[in-house]
A and B are shown apart, each in its own frame.
Chain A
């Protein structure tokens, strides 16, 4: 113990240590010997108190000028190194305390920039970098399909027949299964809510390899009658009562037994799911050609994704020989290729691009901030040339000077790192409030990796801010002594000019990036989706009332309910639709125009939904030809349908489709087209309209059974209607909670939230970058003007006018900015491509944005130059020549 305490003596200045070290050590040993008799506690108390006393005294002595120039003795191996670092840091702290302005500006600039990086990194780390909460999560993959050349979407899901084929034939997979997520009614005691649940196949629960916290997982013998619940559901609905095991809950139309509680950090396939059941698909139940299940697999260790995709594609193409399917099915599968993707990518999805762009842009801001601080260091170094030259002349080694200079950068960066963590801690909740719903949001928070990242950012700052100025300071011109230490070293301004040009270039890249996003955002806001989002409320209920056993009874219920809604004061019109745009996607099916004679290969893939009431008027979707549904259509399910414009064009070109017949292949039904309505954008404002078939409420058979349709209500201030409607729902369908309550305007805003959030944050980052860049330019020019005051004075004394002097300075500034802009434009050309899918209706090389932002940058550069220029033209020749400059 005393040895450790004596080691702390190394912290003292060498002079003090040489003079008193042996005596202090001697007293420590004697004190320790005395205190040892009093027991362990006393010994530890002594060690602690003595240690604190040593450190406090050492730091105080480090600040004491008495020991300042005492020489380092050689021969301390580790100790000498620690000693040197401590001494340099002590020097740096003292020296920085003497220039509080420089210190404050540097720490604040770097602190804000590192803070922004730490904040975004927090999100990136939780969402993208941390592995999924399963053992060996990197061996879990998502399996999908693509079939170039077919009319299927770019990527689509596989069918259950493939799951069986993969499970039986693949040699590279350990296990494979299906999963899903859906919202359904959960009924426990008096509490009824719609919650998100997932029913993966039994094999998935097995190979995810997560043991429940309590109880067990569902098994095949349960025959689907069991569920496990999430830790969150357990604590919120059941008060964390272990007696929940064995309890019956009502889930989605049936009673099931809770057999397990999952651990708190478990989730699958996303963190909103509260309950899991299990499915046990049987071969006999398969209908080939339903490309509608999500598949997940566990890969054997060391298997390459490409090899796996090739093997699964081979297996998939043999599937039509094993199951009965139509020729069209066989053709499609012949073109099919299996897509293998890490499960993590599948879950995180498109957010990752936006997040990487954000992290990249704040990293650029950090580089710019570092350039600014580096410039401040350079200027500070210039001012201290004389001091450094004296030290060098007195025999200070190069390495010694370099270390001393670097120490200041280390102190500044560490202080900035501390500030950054404060900023990030305070800012992350704000960031998350603005952000679109990000998967794994719950995991975001300060972690060890955040701290490591901060440290790395600090080291980066030290290198960028400290090394160049330190190298220059370490080789001071001895001439600084001769000429009295005045005058700028014009031959060295290129380093500072280069930094400013670099800053300008980086800021321009960010400005162009955010400009492109802003234009995309504006374009997206101007998209006409084919419906009017103003003053429309939507909500869903899933009634399970008695007597709703067929299409007509189902239609009667909804028509009666809509009548009640229509009667509410302030309600203009009411409609119902299976899948409301911007909230849910539609199902699809294959259709064949009757006249074609039945060549199945030509069947068109159309989306299908059903609608009732005043849906089209409420949403402002125009009727283009024919008529809308009558009450007769709605109640009887007589096979009359409406087509969207693009569906009509796809089937019959420019011919009038009204009165024509259409065969629905999946259910073998014949429909009659009675009207054509306008196209709508179903999923978001980016895509093109999908061809859509509208069925009336009552038919065709089976479509109504599974669905919980969405109501739409047109009313002034629609959100004010919610309490009244809730009351009405409670009266008409007491067991059906009202959910997915949104205004259409809210859904529209949500659908753009990812872009608006990225646009906003990148915009902030680019404005910050521009300000920092302008500040850097201003700083350099101010310094140059101050240093060239004498020269300017001579010019003015010789008759130069104020305007000429101003042009001189502005000219210097503009040249630097121009170089920066050229470099920035080249950089932007190379970089804006990464925005790719985030952009909408604007190319990555948009001439308007490129020229506009460059012009803006020149303007800012001119302003930043003009302020010091004005000061230059105000130089009084008498003063600048007569005084000491």
Chain B
């Protein structure tokens, strides 16, 4: 069951986007999503981890040992997540779709642009 053909949900996209810069633990992902969506997304705990569950089963994200992660966070032991190869592709596909959509919009807007 892959939902790639249907595209990613906004939250899924932002989680992948957050992990694109490198492995992160859960709460860091949450902070990143909040920041990168300019505050439009404030994922609640249960919803966020449902997304993790989906992304893990679809093999877009995998769990990594904290030793792989940079930098190790002081304090309690945390689970770190990283993009898989499939995840990278899916994120790129989604980004390309955004780009195409943006280009289409620009082309259309170009028609109505004023000559001045």
Contact = CB atoms under 8 A, between A and B. Distances in A.
A172 to B, nearest CB: 67
Interface string B24-37: 00110010000000
Contacts of B48: 24, 27
A16 B53 contact: yes
A20 interface: yes
Interface stretch (A49-57, A128-136, A834-842): A49-57
B50 A28 contact: no
Main secondary structure of the interface of A (DSSP, over half): helix
B46 A23 contact: no
Contacts of B52: 20
B97 interface: no
Contacts of B26: 23, 26-27
B62 to A, nearest CB: 13
A169 interface: no
Interface string B43-59: 01111111011000100
A66 B54 CA distance: 10
Given A16-B53, A20-B52, A66-B57, A57 B46 contact: yes
Interface in A722-757: none
A61 interface: yes
B56 to A, nearest CB: 8
B46 A19 contact: no
A31 B34 CA distance: 13
Given A27-B27, A30-B27, A53 B45 contact: yes
Given A26-B26, A27-B27, A54 B46 contact: yes
Contacts, number: 45
Interface residues of B, number: 14
Nearest to B57: A66
A58 interface: yes
Contacts of A27: 26-27, 30, 45, 48-49
B79 interface: yes
A60 interface: yes
Contacts of B79: 23
Given A26-B26, A27-B27, A30-B27, A50 B44 contact: yes
Contacts of B50: 57, 60-61
Interface in B55-114: 57, 79
Interface in A40-71: 49-50, 53-54, 56-58, 60-61, 66
Contacts of B30: 27
Nearest to B49: A20
A61 to B, nearest CB: 7
A339 B48 CA distance: 75
A66 B53 contact: yes
Contacts of A16: 53
A52 to B, nearest CB: 9
Given A49-B44, A50-B44, A53-B44, A24 B27 contact: no
Given A23-B79, A26-B26, A30-B27, A53 B53 contact: no
A69 to B, nearest CB: 15
Contacts of A61: 50, 53
A36 to B, nearest CB: 16
A30 B27 CA distance: 9
A406 B53 CA distance: 31
A60 B46 CA distance: 11
A20 B53 contact: yes
Nearest to A54: B46
Given A54-B46, A57-B46, A61-B53, 9 more contacts: A23-B26, A27-B27, A27-B30, A27-B49, A30-B27, A31-B44, A50-B44, A54-B45, A66-B53
26 contacts: A16-B53, A20-B49, A20-B52, A23-B26, A23-B79, A24-B45, A24-B48, A24-B49, A25-B45, A26-B27, A27-B30, A27-B48, A27-B49, A30-B27, A49-B44, A50-B44, A50-B45, A53-B45, A53-B46, A54-B45, A54-B46, A57-B46, A58-B46, A61-B50, A61-B53, A66-B53
Interface of A: 16, 19-20, 23-28, 30-31, 49-50, 53-54, 56-58, 60-61, 66
Q: What are the 3 closest A-B residue pairs judged by CB atoms, nearest first?
A: A57-B46, A27-B45, A53-B44
